[in-house]
Structures are given as structure tokens and as C-alpha cells.
Amino acid sequence: MAVISYIDAVTMAIREEMERDSKVFVLGEDVGRKGGVFKATQGLYEQFGEQRVIDTPLAESAIAGVGIGAALYGMRPIAEMQFADFIMPAVNQIISEAARIRYRSNNDWNCPIVIRAPYGGGVHGALYHSQSVEAVFANQPGLKIVMPSTPYDVKGLLKAAIRDDDPVLFFEHKRAYRLIKGEVPNDDYVLPIGKADVKRKGEDITVITYGLCVHFALQAAEKLAADGISAHILDLRTVYPLDKEAIIEAAAKTGKVLLITEDNKEGSIMSEVSAIIAEHCLFELDAPIQRLAGPDIPAMPYAPTMEKFFMVNPEKVEQAMRELAEF
Amino acid sequence: MAVISYIDAVTMAIREEMERDSKVFVLGEDVGRKGGVFKATQGLYEQFGEQRVIDTPLAESAIAGVGIGAALYGMRPIAEMQFADFIMPAVNQIISEAARIRYRSNNDWNCPIVIRAPYGGGVHGALYHSQSVEAVFANQPGLKIVMPSTPYDVKGLLKAAIRDDDPVLFFEHKRAYRLIKGEVPNDDYVLPIGKADVKRKGEDITVITYGLCVHFALQAAEKLAADGISAHILDLRTVYPLDKEAIIEAAAKTGKVLLITEDNKEGSIMSEVSAIIAEHCLFELDAPIQRLAGPDIPAMPYAPTMEKFFMVNPEKVEQAMRELAEF
Amino acid sequence: MAENRHSALGLNDEQILEMYKTMLLARRIDERMWLLNRSGKIPFVISCQGQEAAQVGASFALNREQDYVLPYYRDVGVVLTFGMTAKDLMLSAFAKSEDPSSGGRQMPGHFGQKKNRIVTGSSPVTTQVPHAVGIALAGKMEGKDLVTFVTFGEGSSNQGDFHEGANFAGVHKLPVIFMCENNKYAISVPIEKQLSCERVSDRAIGYGMPGVTVDGNDPLEVYKAVKEAADRGRRGEGPTLIETVSYRLTPHSSDDDDRSYRAPDEVAEAKTKDPIITFGAYLKEAGIMDDKLEKEINDEVMNIVNEATEYAENAPYAPPEYAMKHVYAEQ
Amino acid sequence: MAENRHSALGLNDEQILEMYKTMLLARRIDERMWLLNRSGKIPFVISCQGQEAAQVGASFALNREQDYVLPYYRDVGVVLTFGMTAKDLMLSAFAKSEDPSSGGRQMPGHFGQKKNRIVTGSSPVTTQVPHAVGIALAGKMEGKDLVTFVTFGEGSSNQGDFHEGANFAGVHKLPVIFMCENNKYAISVPIEKQLSCERVSDRAIGYGMPGVTVDGNDPLEVYKAVKEAADRGRRGEGPTLIETVSYRLTPHSSDDDDRSYRAPDEVAEAKTKDPIITFGAYLKEAGIMDDKLEKEINDEVMNIVNEATEYAENAPYAPPEYAMKHVYAEQ
Ligand SMILES: Cc1ncc(C[n+]2csc(CCOP(=O)(O)OP(=O)(O)O)c2C)c(N)n1
Ligand SMILES: Cc1ncc(C[n+]2csc(CCOP(=O)(O)OP(=O)(O)O)c2C)c(N)n1
Ligand SMILES: [Mg+2]
Ligand SMILES: [Mg+2]
């Protein structure tokens, strides 16, 4: 099995699906000749031509809306938002249209679109190139939101998203793109959307998180293990709708839960995770449900001092895990 | 003190503020000559003229965006979205612009806009005229979201919103417009944004809710009182950022908490309320934190059978409160 | 006898009688819905009245076996032409489970029927415009000969989605027909407060496509414009913007009272150009319809409306828990 | 000696020297930022190079004491003309606490400075367009004589906010100048994949406003067009759409490599029309600048850039916890 980067797993999944199914195509800003500003679609234009790797005009509502139209016809569009921050002009198309098409037509129509976008901070991207935007969409039945942490998960989940008969938002952590590498089979495989994944088994504390923070937690868990503290780590992978059973099981297992997100604290995905636990396994808890998250400020500033202040990092994670273990 | 309807309190607040401050003006679809599709701005066009009560073209992103521009200049625009469901095209202007202007300019600029919109179901409005949309915005520092339940609160909070130096989303329950009446002073008064309000004191169970559901809870509380069960009812009033102290105090008071929203359950405002409680007063709880909410389906259907299935109503509230009391 | 204008367009007498009948059926369904609404039997109506000529004239110019239509809420004439029945529409008005558009989930006017390529619509205006572009793109990718036809009001042509969709279609030379049904009002807001251009079709040049404005009360003029646009589209020459000018003869919807914003005179004046009347007169002047045939058609149409109403009124609602179905594909 | 074109526009020699100096300052600041970026001292640059003539020509035509500008990220020439200094810009490039635009919170190119009526901008393109309309509306309501000036790229003119903002301004006849700086690319996407109209200014008629296309390499032509638009606006005749055609001489930003999508020849060809060179040549031909003066100006500009760089490099960052400030008004 080859070790490849997170972003190469994105490209690999798209390429394989385009080879497999002629209905799959890519559209977005700079995805064609340039291969994407992050190079996620590199080589696809050369391989599949400009008909299937479409450089669109600079208009996100049309990227989503045209993609939705093609999906209504029966195509499998993969629309790229250049940065997750720039998905906002497309919110009406995503929430009012994609999410509701099957339901509102009583199952007559459906909308198998994938909307990919790089999110997350720590890249000197400042306010508008660093955001986590999943919470905007995580209250919209009809949508699925996938946020993988490893190259292996990226490939399996992106393929599953492309084959899914409903709309999927697929958010990729831009700092993970080249930072995170891992083993990825060359074979065709899919992973189930809607299922969380235990990334490490443990007995003393439970950490529930997703995306880049999974790696911070795994690193911290190694350090804690040296001190005899055993951490159980659940990677949500799909942040909407959540895998309730897995969350309840993971929380009940140790009775001490730390929830980590890079998003602002108030109103994040982790609010719902906490609510699920508080509703279903309150009496199995030995400590208040802790959250480690970004502060409640618009998004991370450009200046390195303030950016660092905002970002969750391995040190902050380790500290929060130790505090919980000592509770 | 006169007894007036919820919607008349909206009109009264706007009128008084327009009389008080020439910088206050109204813009939106059909707000002028027609006085709004719900009549919230009735009479204002006649009183203040078409310069201050502006019928705009049918384009929500411009309604928000032009309003933001005027606010940058120093005006006090009140923008109306005809239905909360139609705020979606304006999400980019609200989240990327209004919410971030003060922060991104390091306090050089600010954006004192109010965006009003009728939300909520039970009026045969079907999928797109019934939604609760607050969760879309309840993760955006820089914004405030106010959702009042009574005519008295409407007037005091809408005036506060208009005078606020930051952007405020003001969501009015459209079924409450004529259903809910209450005493409203003719005097000028404001109520504090960001503060929840105890609508009923009690000892046995705590209900935390907002909007129309406050009334359902109050009705149910009367019935429970007859059976010797005493309910404490907290009306959030501002759903973002939340009044954490009030929530913690109300939850700790009885140790049994029911959270009610008309929104879909997963990812609603109540997720955060639950998370705050689970983080801060877990050991004071005697029961799991319960949530009563809409099911996780896109929004309520038109057919009366299915609409009723979706909506929270007094019976569902009473039953949930009794079950919690018996826990 | 008046000049025969339809033969020159390649339409025979039978076809234009069919057009008339469809227009009339649209009108009578709409009128019935108002009665049902005023008697408390259905909660809501939104009307096609005054726009039937544009809708039917346009739809007849399309290929009903392969083209896709993305109608807006007033397009009763479009969906009837594309195969929806009076019964289907009444089932929707009554929110009954058999409603093909939504199973009673959406308000009336939110059309959709896959088998007839009537694409599901929503309430937020203009979102259908990029969808029409996407379907045309898909058709092109799949080597199909299809055209997509999308409509919207003149107020709605101010939404960003109109601009973004039209430009996309222009850049990719896609076979999309954008038809703006200009009825002079967006609820209470008159056109001069909506648009600053003289004609909605003035916007076409900004997307590198032809733009024309036609009389929306004349189904033949609309037919001609749409036919040309469809032909252009099929020839690979790209999209067209068509504006049909008519008037909304009813209030915006059953929730509206239009007397607060427009003068009775203005409405009365518009009614003299009612396309049902003027097209009926044309058929008579052209010697295609006489009083007897007119009555027969009327009776036939009323029968259809009556039967549809009765069926729909007695049809069942979806059961409450059915609300939980079809959020996602069933596994 | 060449024809004197500036006197006819009411510009004296001093003023056009000032224009030249501002253009040159913009260019030199930009060049310095690339050097700083390539040596690892600043994380990011986005350039004005090739667009200085349009930016400076336009801004000189405005009233710098009362008009509002809503620049986009390339508009170094606009903000310099409106009172931002080289030091201010360098502080922003280094993300230092004294940066007047954002206190180091935003990337460079996100201009804002209330005292100079430079309106705070963000990254999502085109959102500033409706803001310009709103400020013009406010000015009109308050009886002020002001004009607002807003810029954006040709790619960005495809966003819904352009359409919605332009239409609003047209309907309300507001004094807004919409200036599209057409530099032929939106990152890697060439204009023919962005727009299907021949000229961006073709869109003006759709908003009932005049539209003109001018040579963006000629500050005098741009000055003239903007002056006329400002005069129209102040006379209450409404908005204008101006397109300036030039070329982006650098990659899109320091993160881009333009060799993957455009030929070196094309760039080289465009460089022969570099406005710094051509306008310098005009000044010489018109006898306003000789080699000596050119050198003096250059030295003066380089001094300013050097001082600004040094100051900014040594200035402090905001402390970490300062990130918590100014989410809402302080009580
Ligand atoms: C995005 C959005 N905003 C507001 C509305 C409410 N609304 C429904 S129809 C309408 C007016 C539409 O006018 P026009 O486009 O001219 O079509 P007409 O009704 O005149 O046929 C409005 C404002 C909506 N449905 N969607
Ligand atoms: C809404 C949005 N989508 C995408 C981007 C990413 N982006 C930044 S600049 C740019 C290209 C802009 O092209 P154009 O408008 O022609 O301006 P230019 O850079 O050529 O001056 C893109 C796609 C963005 N900033 N905002
Ligand atoms: Mg209309
Ligand atoms: Mg450009």
C-alpha cells in the first residue's frame, strides 16, 4: 500500500470515480487547466478534457445551482468551492434546493451532487480563508456532511459521497492536505457515510473530534499513554447527521468526555454531540462534558500571534485531555 | 396599558424609533405601499414617505447588502426579509459582511443593521414558509439573534435592536403575530439584548424555550400546577449569543430540564443550551436533559396531517413536561 | 375573415384549437381554485390568470417528448401542456397524497413530475434558473438534442441567480430558453420600482445572447419566439432570453388584496386584453371556432374541472407519519 | 512634443505629475512586497501591477474630501490616492498591530480606513457592490452631494451581488460608479470562459445606466470617464458602469504560478503597454518630466518605500489575546 498525502487521496478518489462512471464530472473555479488552487484536481483536465473538468465563471450560486441541475438530470457532479468560506453565496442553492429536492418531490426527484471545499485554519489565511463552516449546514435534513481526517478515509468517503444518491458536502482540511500522509490502497473501496470511527481504543477518557484535530488527539494520546492514561478516540467522520450510537457508546465507555473542534465554540457540531450524550447517557458520566474549541470571535486573524491564539493545537489538546483525566 | 397583538408591537416599535431618530429607515419587499405581506409596516409609508419606507427590488442579497452599506455610513436600516425562509440568498452578506465588519476593521467600522423576518410554522405555509432558520446563523460571532415571545418583549427588544451598534437578526413568529396579545406600555422602553427572562418561577422542572413555544409551556405549566407540579420557565429571548448564566441558574434550580424548540432537533439552538448545561452543572441534574423539537425532516409539509405531525403544540409540550416531572 | 397567422408558423387548425383548449383549461382550473379557497376548502391559490397565452404558446413550441421545463408557480399552462392533468393539479390544491408534484408536501404551484420532465420547484424565486442551465449542460454532455425552458417573473429577474445562470449558459452556449413572464407587478411592487432597464430583454446582451420582447397576450407571437429559440438551441447556438409582456389579472395570491396598490381602472383596462378572450376572438375570426364549438369546448373543460375537483376533494391525505419518509434515499 | 491631452480635462501639470508619482508608488510598494514575500518575510502578496493607471486615474476624478471608495484587493492606487500611506500598507503586509485596515487581522489587500472614507473590505468578491449602493442611498437620504466608487474584477462581475447591486442603484438613480477592472483573467480563467458578452460594459443597459469601456492603461482616459460619471451622479442622473481594460502583469497572487495557464509571450506583449512606462513616456513627450525629474521621483518613491518597510518590519504584532477584542461594541 502506498503512503500518500491527504490531497492526493482526494485526487485519486475523483480520478477513479471519473474512470468508473462517465456521469461523474467536476466543476468549479480554476479546477481545469490550473488543476485547482490547491491542486486537488491536478491532471484531471488533461485526462478527461474540458467537457468533464469545467472551469466555471466566478459565481458560487451558479456552481452549486448548475451542478444541482445536472444532478437532477442524472449526472454525478462534483462541485468545488475554492475555499469553504466562499460557499456562502451558494447557501440558498444548497439549503433550499439540494437538501429538499427528494423530500419536496415526494421521492420523484433526487440530487446526487457532491460539493467539496477546503476549510480550516493554521495557514495564514486570516478571517476568510480559515473558517469552519459546517455548523451553517448541520441543521438541514436532506444534507450529509463528511469531514475526513486521514487519506484512507478521504478516498473511501469521497467515493461513497460521489456514489451517494443524495447531496453530500465534503469538507477537506486544507492544512491536512500536505501535512497528513497515510496508507491508501490502490483498490476501489468505499467507507460508510454516517458512521463514526474509533481511531484509538482506550479506557480512561473519551475524545470525540473530527478532521485535523483527530491527529492532535492521537499525538496527545501517545504522550498520555506514557503516563498510564488511556484515551479512547472517536473520529466522527460524518458530522451531519451524526452517528448517535457510536457517540453514546464512546461516551459511556469511559464516562469522561472531551469534545474537540476547531470551529467557534458556541453552536458548533460539538453542541449537538454534547446534547446527544446529555440526553442518552448522562448517568454514565463521571465528569462534565468538556469542549475544546476556537474562541467565539469571527474567525482567526492573520497576525501569527492572534492566529495561534485561535487555533486548536497539539499542546492545547494534550492539556485538555490531562485535565479531564485528572478530574 | 393597552393590550395589543405581537405584530402591532412590531409596528409600534418601528414607528417610535423612526419618529425618534431620522437615521432609522425601513427597506424590503412590499414594505411600502402594501405595508408588508403581514402588515408589519402598515401606515409607515404614509407617515414617513417612500424615502424612508423603501419598496426594494426582489433581491434579498441586495436588501441586506444595501442595508449594510447604509449602516456603514451611519444610518439605522431595518431590513425586512419577507419570510425567514428567503433569507438564504442573503447569507453571504449577513455572515461574511455584517457579522465581521467591526472585527475585521479592528473597530474602525461598524454595522448597526436590524434584519427582521417572520419565521415558524402552523400556518399552512409548507416547506418554504414555515422554517426556523436561526441555527444557520447561531455560530457566527458578531451577530446577535433575538426571538421574542410576547408583545411586551417585541417592543422592548426591537427598539434595543434598532439602537444596537451591531447587527441584529430579529425573528418574529408569524403564527404569534395575531394569536398572541399582551399588555404593552405606550412609553419608550428597551429590554436588554443577550438576557433570558424567567417567565414563570417553579421548583420541580425547568423548561427552557423561546418564541411561540413559551406560550405552550406556560399553558402546560398551568395544567401541571393543578396536579401539584411546579414548572420553572426560562424564555431565552436572545438565542445567540446565549445567556449562559441564566441557563445554568435555571437548570440548576430544579435539576430536571426540558428544552423546547420548533426547529429540527439535530443542530438546533437547544443543542448549545444542552451543551452549556452539560458543561457547567452536570452534577446538579436529576434527569437526562430532554429535548422536544421538530423531527429531522426538511420542514413541515403542507398537508394538515403532516404539518400537525411536525409542529410542537401544547399537548406535546404538556406530555413532555409530565414525563420529565415523573422521571 | 381575419388573416390566418398560425399557418405561417406551421401550426394547423387542430393544434391551435388544442392551444386554446389548454389555455381555457388553465383558466378554469384557476377560477375553480379561487372558489374553493373562498369557500374555505383549500388554504391557498396562486394564479395563472392573464399569462395562459404566454405559457401555452411557449410550451407548444417545445418538444414535449424530450425537452425539460422548469416552470414557476404561475405556469399552469406550461405543466398542462407537458402532461400534468387537471386532477393532478387539484390533488395538489387539496394537498392530497396522490399529488404528483409533492404528495401534498408543497403548496400548490410547486410543480414537478419526472415522467413528464417537469422539474421540481421550490418557493424561493429564481433558484430554478441555474438548474435549467445544469440540465442543458448535462444534455450536452450526454449528446442529447434537448432544450430546457425556464420561466420566472420580472421581479425575480433581479435575483443574483438569474444573472449567474444566464451568464453560465452564455459562456457554455447551452440550449436554454429563459422566459420572463412580465406581468408588471411583483406582489405590490410595480415594474418601475423593480427594474431600471426599459425591457427585461435588454439584459440579454450582457450574456451574449439574443433578447426579445413579445406580446404575452398573443400565444402565436410567443410560440414563434420560443420556436426560434429552441431551434437556435438545438443548432448549438446557445441560449435566448424572451420577455412576454402581459398583466396579472388576479391579486398576487389568495392572501393578497391588490386594491391597496393598484387602481381598479388599470385592472379593468388589462382585462380588455385578456388572452382567453382575444385568442378566442382570433379563432372565430379565422373561422376555426364558432359559437357551438366554443360551447362544446367550454363544457368539456368544465367537465374535466368538475371531475378533477370531486376526485381530489375525496382523495386521502398522506398519514401523519408519512412526513418522516424520503428525507434520504431508502437503503 | 506630443499633444497635451490633460489640459483639456482640466488637469494641470502638477496634478498629472502627482498621478504619475502615485502610480509609481503603488508599483514600487507592490514590487517590494514580492521581494519580502520571496525572502520569507511576509506570507502573502496580491498585486496592483498593470492596473495602477486605471486606479489612479479614476481616484483623481473623485472628490477626495467627501466621496466614498470601496476598493477591491488590487486597488493600491485607489487607497494611496485617498490618503492611505505606504507605511499603512506595509503595516498591513506585515500584519502588524498598527495596520489601519484591520490591525493585522486581515490579509493585505483588505483595505479600510474610515477617516479617509475607504470602506472596509472582505475576501468574498463583489460583496462590496451593494455596500456602495447603500452608502449612496444614505448620502441621498441625508442630502449629501457624495458619490460612491466601487471596483471589482471582470470575473467578479459574474456574481449575483453585482447584478442585484447595479439594479438597485439603477432603480433608485443613485450616484454610484461601478468600475470593472478587466485584467483578462480571474486567477487562471480567461475572460472568454468568464463572460459571454463582448464587453463588461454591455451589461449597463440591463440596469438602465450608461456603460463605457476605456483603455485601462491610460489614466487620462479613465479620469475622463470617471469624472463624467461622478458629475452625472452628482446631478442626480444615477449610476454608471465603467470597464477599464488592462492586463494583470503578475501572477494572481504570491500563491499562484501563472505559467500553467498563460503563455510567456502574452505576458511579454502586455508588458509593452505597462502604464508606468507608457504614462512616463507621455509625461516626457508632453515636456513635463525629464530624465532628471524622473530620477528624483523614483528616488523619492524608493525612500518612502524603504522607510515604510523598515518601520513596518519593526513594528509590534497585536498581542495574542487581542484576538478577543471588538467582536461587538464595548459596553
Ligand atoms: C427569494 C424569495 N423572496 C421573496 C419571495 C416572496 N415572493 C413570492 S412571489 C414574489 C413576487 C414575485 O414577482 P415576479 O417575479 O414579478 O412574479 P409574479 O408573481 O409577478 O408572477 C415574492 C416577493 C420568494 N418567494 N422568494
Ligand atoms: C466569492 C469568492 N469566490 C472565490 C474567491 C477566490 N478568488 C479570489 S480572487 C479570484 C479571481 C477574481 O478574478 P477577477 O474578478 O477577474 O479579479 P482579478 O483578480 O483578476 O483582479 C477568485 C476566484 C473569492 N475571493 N470570493
Ligand atoms: Mg411579476
Ligand atoms: Mg480579472
Active-site amino acid positions of D: 248, 252, 261
* Bridge partner list, C53: none
CB spacing of A56 vs C328 below 8 angstroms: no
Residues 193-212 of A with CB under 8 A from B: none
Three-class SS state of B201? coil
State how far the Cα of A84 lies from the Cα of D189, in Å rounded to an integer.
20
Average pLDDT (D236-258) is 98
B190 lies in some domain:
no
C282 lies in some domain:
yes
C132 lies in some domain:
yes
pLDDT of residue C3: 81
pLDDT of residue D3: 81
Cell of D269: 506583449
Q: End of a domain among B184, B214, B231?
A: B184
State how far the Cα of C315 lies from the Cα of C187, in Å rounded to an integer.
32
Same domain, B46 and B161: yes
For residue range C17-27, list pLDDT tens digits in order.
999 999 999 99
C1 pLDDT higher than 60: no
For residue range D96-127, list pLDDT tens digits in order.
999 999 999 999 999 999 999 999 999 999 99
D1 pLDDT higher than 70: no
Average pLDDT (D142-146) is 97
D190 contacts on C by Cβ (under 8 Å): none
According to DSSP, the β-strands at B181-184 and B205-209 are unpaired
pLDDT mean across residues, chain A: 98
* Dihedral over alpha carbons B184, B185, B186, B188 (to 10 degrees): -110
Same domain, B138 and B221: no
- How many domains would you assign to chain A? 2
State how far the Cα of C75 lies from the Cα of C94, in Å rounded to an integer.
18
With contact defined as 3+ CB pairs under 8 Å, the chains touching A are: B, C, D
For residue range D72-99, list pLDDT tens digits in order.
999 999 999 999 999 999 999 999 999 9
C331 pLDDT higher than 80: no
C125 lies in some domain:
yes
Cβ pair B261, B274 in contact under 8 A: no
Q: How far is CA C331 from CA A196, D277, D287, in A?
A: 18, 67, 80
D168 contacts on B by Cβ (under 8 Å): 56-57, 59, 62, 66
- Note the pTM of the prediction, 2 decimals: 0.98
A190 lies in some domain:
no
A312 lies in some domain:
yes
Average pLDDT (C84-93) is 98
pLDDT of residue B72: 98
Same domain, A273 and A212: yes
Cell of B243: 445567556
Residue B92 alpha carbon, nearest atom of ligand 2? 1
* Catalytic one of B129, B173, B215, B232: B129
B141 contacts on D by Cβ (under 8 Å): 327
With contact defined as 3+ CB pairs under 8 Å, the chains touching B are: A, C, D
A213 pLDDT higher than 90: yes
C239 lies in some domain:
yes
* Dihedral over alpha carbons B293, B295, B300, B302 (to 10 degrees): -120
Q: End of a domain among A137, A161, A184?
A: A184
State how far the Cα of D213 lies from the Cα of D178, in Å rounded to an integer.
12
State how far the Cα of A100 lies from the Cα of A142, in Å rounded to an integer.
6
With residue B5 as reference, give the H or E element that holds it. strand B2-5
pLDDT of residue D331: 76
For residue range C212-239, list pLDDT tens digits in order.
999 999 999 999 999 999 999 999 999 9
C297 pLDDT higher than 60: yes
For residue range D268-319, list pLDDT tens digits in order.
999 999 999 999 999 999 999 999 999 999 999 999 999 999 999 999 999 9
CATH number for the domain including A80? 3.40.50.970
Range of the domain at C167: 5-310
Three-class SS state of A275? helix
Q: How many CB atoms lie within 10 A of CB D18?
A: 15
- DSSP symbols for C227-262: HHHHHHHHTT---EEEEEE----S-SBTT--GGGTS
Q: Compute the C-alpha angle C229/C71/D130, nearest 5°.
A: 90
- The number of angstroms, rounded, from the C-alpha of A250 to the middle of its chain's C-alpha atoms is 20
Same domain, B140 and B228: no
- How many domains would you assign to chain D? 1
Q: How much of chain C exceeds pLDDT 90, in percent?
A: 98
| pLDDT tier at C2, thresholds 50, 70, 90 | low
B232 is catalytic: no
pLDDT of residue B1: 82
Q: Report the separation in Å between the CA atom of D189 and the middle of ligand 4, taken as the mean of its atom positions.
A: 9
Three-class SS state of C4? coil
State how far the Cα of A174 lies from the Cα of A129, in Å rounded to an integer.
10
Same domain, A206 and A312: yes
A268 lies in some domain:
yes
CATH number for the domain including C184? 3.40.50.970
- DSSP symbols for A14-72: HHHHHHH-TTEEEEETT-STT--SS-TTTTHHHHH-TTTEEE--S-HHHHHHHHHHHHH
Q: Report the separation in Å between the CA atom of D186 and the middle of ligand 2, taken as the mean of its atom positions.
A: 6
B277 contacts on A by Cβ (under 8 Å): 278
**Distance (Å) from the alpha carbon of C71 to chain B's nearest alpha carbon:** 17
D83 lies in some domain:
yes
Cβ pair B327, B295 in contact under 8 A: no
D126 lies in some domain:
yes
Same domain, B144 and B250: no
D36 pLDDT higher than 70: yes
Same domain, A177 and A202: no
The finding on whether D183 has its CB within 6 A of some atom of ligand 2 is: yes
D160 lies in some domain:
yes
Q: How much of chain B exceeds pLDDT 90, in percent?
A: 99
Q: End of a domain among B157, B184, B211?
A: B184
The finding on whether B60 has its CB within 6 A of some atom of ligand 1 is: yes
With residue A170 as reference, give the H or E element that holds it. strand A168-173
CATH number for the domain including A316? 3.40.50.920
Q: How far is CA D31 from CA C250, D100, D162, in A?
A: 64, 21, 31
Q: Compute the C-alpha angle A30/A33/A37, nearest 5°.
A: 40
A189 lies in some domain:
no
State which residues of chain B have pLDDT below 70. Answer: none
Same domain, A168 and A205: no
The finding on whether C156 has its CB within 6 A of some atom of ligand 1 is: yes
Residue C316: name the closest of C33, C91, C29, C41 by CA: C91
Same domain, A164 and A275: no
Count, residues in chain D:
331
Same domain, A141 and A213: no
Range of the domain at A138: 2-184
B70 lies in some domain:
yes
Cell of B127: 416547506
Alpha helical stretches, state H, chain C: 13-38, 52-60, 76-81, 86-93, 128-141, 160-171, 191-194, 219-234, 264-271, 275-285, 291-314
Q: How far is CA A208 from CA A199, A248, A289, in A?
A: 10, 11, 11
pLDDT mean across residues, chain C: 97
CB spacing of B89 vs C124 below 8 angstroms: yes
Same domain, A164 and A244: no
Same domain, B172 and B220: no
D327 lies in some domain:
no
State how far the Cα of B99 lies from the Cα of B111, in Å rounded to an integer.
8
